[in-house]
């Protein structure tokens, strides 16, 4: 340890710990009348929002919630969820954002594992909750969230309905200060093997994450995505890494926020139009779903700015969005990282280049945001040069990374091998700091000694005019170990076969982008590609499906 100088504080000096309550204070200071909107059902000002957070804190305290308890929420994206994101941690309790798209068994596992004591349940999930209630080992009380007229529900140990309880609670609450290293939120990763793993974030981490994100997306010249005159609507579920933490940024800045409830593509487009949303964020497949919605046809999204993360952005989607008026900016992160690590940023020199070259950089995973550090590491724990060529595992250090997996000491140690958080992604970093994700380590296709990036192949195949969506995985091959296999959804039922894909890829082989082993010798035309609970390509399911099709000799497989 360095012997630095640490001076004694004045006896009365206040430490102002980095607490989530401090993010809430500023929004209404800037814009008292700015609105928080819930679907076409409710709108209220920031002043009312602050009061409602206090009312909720009173309701929860009355119900017995104490510092250190875990309070879980099962809801679509709503103003109520936003209120929970503040009130629960501000009481010193831990907010568990339940991934309602997991299977009932997985949800049950996460709730018991997280020690949930109180659960707020949306009436849409009553049947699901009732199905697992008897096996919940730690839950003591429930609270109903509903838009319906009927405010009754058959929930065990129900203390009441949210809106009625808030209406009769006091609109003020004196939130105490406490240690900024107290856990504020927890949720479970959507890993495709084994049980979900719990990650957790402290007040200090969430506050620093909020400040860094606000700086990166609000101040850096070539990003400037969010100012406080923007209108924000999430299209990443609030259970997925707190909607990437953006609600905390929006609230700190006093930005108009629109919460869409359950995601229905036409209704999302309706809200974008009527509330004039200018800023959002989502995974690529959800953007595709919104752009394809019937009500989006002919609509000009001009001026809309969207952060794309969670999966690689391909050139075809970047260009499609641009043609529809949407400026896409990439971001990289994961559940373990709170999530923001890097954001697309083109420096002055790059911006002077031609558009084609700029797009090459715009679709990479970006440059680390302030306070974030990224490196690539080899199998022996050595850091590799940032030369844009050396491939290794992307490893991270940043003040807001989960410090482990809840009650999983061994997996926590593995996550933090050599003192860096291991992402499980293969990447390169160039001399400008651009991270390029080559693939998930487990998705790289190993064919005859060559390593092929499934992401790169997806990007190249997506440029074929007939392709609407594509997923590439490696399938076992007796001769080569693995061979690439492409699953395609074509535009308006257009035809494409394995030969057509080969023809399309030929120029990229000639130009040296990929080698000839990258050509899939089998493809399948499907109407839908399986997705995970958060809308990413579900490569585990895809591999299982392909194995079944190959065994059955399905007619829609096209072979070279
Ligand atoms: P999750 O924890 O479910 O949010 O998934 C995190 C994973 O998503 C990362 O480890 C990456 O594999 C992938 N990912 C996130 N952002 C990007 C990006 N911008 N480009 C490529 N892959 C990404």
Residue 32 sits in a domain of what CATH number? 3.40.50.12780
Is the CB of residue 310 below 6 angstroms from any atom belonging to ligand 1? yes
352-358: which pairs have CB atoms within 8 A and are 24 or more residues apart? none
pLDDT band at 450 (very low <50, low <70, confident <90, very high): confident
Domain for residue 526, yes or no? yes
Q: Answer with the one of 440, 464, 488 that is the final residue of a domain.
A: 440
Report whether 328 contacts 362 (CB < 8 A).
yes
Same domain, 474 and 341: no
pLDDT of residue 492: 85
In the chain, % of residues over pLDDT 70 = 99
Establish whether 251 is a catalytic residue: no
- Got the DSSP string for 348-360? HHHHTS-HHHHHH
What integer pLDDT is reported at residue 191 of this predicted model? 65
CB of 183 closer than 6 angstroms to any ligand 1 atom? no
The verdict on the CB of residue 309 being under 6 Å from ligand 1 is: yes
Question: Is the CB of 533 within 6 Å of ligand 1?
Answer: no
pLDDT at 425: 97
Distances (CA, A) of 191 to 30, 539, 540: 40, 11, 10
**Number of domains within the chain:** 3
* 366 domain residue, yes or no: yes
Is residue 61 over pLDDT 70?
A: yes
Sign of CA dihedral 50, 52, 58, 60: negative
Task: Assess whether 143 and 211 both reside in one domain.
Answer: no
Residue bearing the CA closest to ligand 1, atom 15: 310
- Give me the pLDDT at residue 192, please: 58
pLDDT at 493: 77
Q: What is the mean pLDDT of residues 360-371?
A: 97
Given strand 435-440, what is the order of strands in its sheet?
373-377, 392-397, 421-429, 435-440
Q: What is the mean pLDDT of residues 381-408?
A: 98
> Distance, CA 537 to ligand 1 centroid (Å)?
11
| Ligand 1 atom nearest to 342, measured from its CA | 19
pLDDT at 337: 98
Same domain, 310 and 355: yes
Q: Provide the b/e sequence for 373-409 (b: ≥16 CB within 10 Å).
A: ebbbbeeeeeebebeeeebbbbbbebbbbbbbbbebe
- CA dist 118 and 433 (Å) reads 44
Q: Give residues with Cβ within 8 angstroms of 219, minimum separation 6.
A: none
Q: CB under 8 Å to 538, separation ≥6 — which residues?
A: 192, 530, 531, 532
Using an 8 Å Cβ cutoff, are 90 and 57 in contact? Answer: yes
**What does the pLDDT average to over 208-237?**
93
Let me know: does 437 contact 443? Beta carbons within 8 Å: no
Nearest residue CA, atom 4 of ligand 1? 334
- Given 170, 185, 202, the domain boundary residue is 202
Would the pLDDT of 193 be above 70?
no
Catalytic residue status for 357 = no
Residue 7 lies in a domain: no
Within-domain flag for 1: no
Cβ distance 370 to 408 under 8 Å?
A: no
Query: Does residue 96 sit in the same domain as residue 158?
Result: yes
The CATH number covering residue 479 comes to 3.30.300.30
> Is the CB–ligand 1 distance for residue 332 below 6 Å?
yes
Above 70 in pLDDT, residue 87? yes
| Per-residue model confidence (pLDDT) at position 294 | 96
- Residue 523: which domain range? 444-559
What's the average model confidence in pLDDT over 422-440?
97
* 11 located within any domain: no
- 446 has catalytic annotation: yes
343 contacts 244 by C-beta, under 8 angstroms: no
Say whether pLDDT at 3 is over 70. yes
Q: Which residue has the higher pLDDT, 194 or 355?
A: 355
Please confirm, yes or no, whether 336 is among the known catalytic residues: yes
Alpha-carbon gap, residue 110 to 139, rounded angstroms:
12
pTM: 0.94
pLDDT digits (tens, 9 = 90+) for 260-306: 999 999 999 999 999 999 999 999 999 999 999 999 999 999 999 99
Clarify whether residues 400 and 502 are in a common domain.
no
DSSP 4-57: ---PPPPTT-------THHHHHHHHHH-SS-EEEETTTEEEEHHHHHHHHHHHH
Residue 161 three-state SS: strand
**428 alpha carbon to ligand 1 midpoint, in Å?**
15
- Burial degree of 255 (CB within 10 A; 0-12, 13-18, 19+): buried
Is 221 a residue whose pLDDT tops 80?
A: no
**305 plus 431 within the same structural domain:** yes
Across 364-418, the runs of DSSP E, i.e. the strands, are: 367-368, 373-377, 392-397
Report how far ligand 1's centroid is from the alpha carbon of 308 (Å).
10
CA distances from 496 to 73, 473, 488, 543 (A): 45, 18, 9, 21
Query: Does the pLDDT of residue 557 top 90, yes or no?
Result: no
Shared domain check, 235 and 101 = no
475 and 545 within one domain: yes
Closest C-alpha among 71, 195, 212 to residue 138: 71
Last residue of a domain, one of 162, 181, 202: 202
Q: Identify whether the C-beta of residue 77 lies closer than 8 Å to the C-beta of residue 261.
A: yes
553 confidence band (pLDDT: 50, 70, 90) = confident
Distance 332 CA to ligand 1 centre (A): 6
Same domain, 353 and 234: yes
Q: Same structural domain for residues 474 and 421?
A: no
- Cβ contact 339:213 at 8 Å: no
Do 150 and 131 sit in the same domain of this protein? Answer: yes
**Catalytic pick among 336, 393, 458, 469:** 336
In the chain the first and final C-alpha atoms are separated, in Å, by: 63
Average pLDDT taken over every residue of the chain: 95
Distance CA 235, CA 410 (A): 34
Which two tokens mark 407? 């009650």
């Amino acid at each position: 340890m360095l012997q630095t100088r640490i001076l004694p504080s004045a006896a009365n000096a206040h430490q102002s710990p980095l607490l989530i309550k401090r993010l809430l204070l500023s929004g209404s200071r800037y814009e008292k009348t700015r609105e928080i909107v819930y679907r076409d059902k409710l709108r209220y000002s920031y002043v009312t929002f602050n009061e409602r957070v206090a009312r909720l804190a009173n309701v929860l305290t009355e119900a017995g919630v104490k510092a250190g308890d875990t309070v879980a929420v099962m809801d679509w994206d709503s103003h109520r969820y936003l209120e929970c994101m503040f009130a629960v941690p501000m009481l010193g309790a831990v907010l568990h954002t339940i991934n309602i798209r997991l299977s009932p068994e997985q949800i049950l596992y996460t709730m018991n594992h997280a020690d949930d004591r109180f659960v707020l349940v949306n009436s849409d999930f009553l049947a699901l909750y009732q199905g697992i209630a008897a096996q919940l080992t730690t839950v003591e009380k429930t609270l109903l969230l509903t838009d319906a007229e009927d405010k009754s529900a058959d929930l065990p140990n129900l203390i009441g309905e949210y809106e009625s309880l808030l209406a009769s609670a006091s609109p003020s609450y004196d939130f105490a200060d406490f240690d900024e290293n107290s856990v504020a939120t927890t949720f479970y990763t959507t890993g495709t093997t084994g049980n979900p793993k719990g990650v957790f974030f402290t007040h200090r981490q969430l506050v620093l994450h909020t400040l860094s994100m606000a700086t990166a997306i609000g101040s850096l010249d070539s990003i400037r995505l969010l100012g406080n005159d923007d209108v924000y609507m999430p299209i990443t579920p609030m259970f997925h890494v707190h909607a990437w933490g953006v609600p905390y940024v929006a609230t700190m800045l006093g930005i108009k926020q629109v919460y869409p409830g359950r995601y229905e593509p036409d209704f999302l487009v309706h809200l974008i139009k009527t509330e004039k949303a200018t800023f959002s964020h989502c995974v690529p497949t959800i953007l595709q779903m919104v752009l394809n919605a019937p009500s989006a046809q002919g609509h000009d999204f001009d001026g809309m700015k969207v952060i794309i993360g969670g999966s690689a952005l391909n050139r075809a989607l970047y260009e499609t969005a641009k043609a529809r008026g949407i400026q896409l900016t990439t971001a990289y992160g994961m559940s373990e990282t709170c999530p923001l690590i890097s954001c697309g940023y083109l420096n002055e020199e790059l911006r002077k280049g031609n558009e084609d070259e700029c797009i090459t950089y715009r679709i990479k995973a970006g440059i680390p945001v302030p306070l974030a550090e990224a490196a690539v590491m080899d199998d022996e724990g050595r850091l590799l040069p940032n030369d844009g060529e050396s491939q290794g595992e992307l490893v991270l250090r940043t003040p807001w990374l989960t410090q482990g997996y809840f009650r999983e000491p061994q997996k926590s140690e593995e996550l933090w091998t050599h003192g860096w958080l291991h992402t499980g992604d293969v990447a390169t970093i160039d001399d400008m700091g651009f991270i390029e994700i080559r693939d998930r380590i487990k998705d790289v296709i190993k064919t005859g000694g060559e390593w092929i990036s499934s992401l790169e192949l997806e990007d190249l195949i997506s440029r074929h005019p007939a392709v609407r969506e594509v997923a590439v995985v490696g399938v076992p091959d007796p001769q080569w170990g693995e061979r690439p296999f492409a699953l395609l959804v074509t535009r308006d039922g257009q035809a494409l076969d394995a030969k057509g894909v080969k023809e399309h890829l030929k120029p990229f082989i000639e130009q040296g982008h990929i080698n000839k082993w990258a050509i899939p010798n089998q493809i399948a035309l499907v109407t839908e590609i399986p997705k995970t609970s958060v809308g990413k390509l579900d490569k585990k399911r895809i591999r299982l499906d392909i194995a079944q099709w190959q065994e059955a000799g399905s007619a829609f497989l096209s072979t070279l």
